[in-house]
Structure 1
């Protein structure tokens, strides 16, 4: 399960049971500034970065593989 934490500036990946908060991985620390939304399609993760007016595209290893710019 993936959750956007806007204030933290990260995407959180929960790898264990949903009730187990010990298995949380923080992603995007060096890439995202203000993540605001997330979507998964096929083998890609799309994260909107509100202040930068773009959508970062990641693979499931959370490696950046592309960017979609949009007007703000």
Structure 2
């Protein structure tokens, strides 16, 4: 799985994005940039849910960003 920050994903050529959407290997997922006024906790929860749905496994990180 390749996770791409959504603004970078949007900047890609439309044909390349279409090819990414059509393939399952590797799975390319655009991670949302965040909502205005949304704190880190809300964005983190939304990203965790999105990744869990894409991968089928929950990944957790400690406060310093390392794997728990």
- TM-score normalised by L of structure 1: 0.27
Higher percent of residues as strand:
1
Higher relative contact order (CA 8 A, sep 6+): 2
- TM-score normalised by L of structure 2: 0.28
Higher percent of residues as helix:
2
Rg bigger for which structure? 2
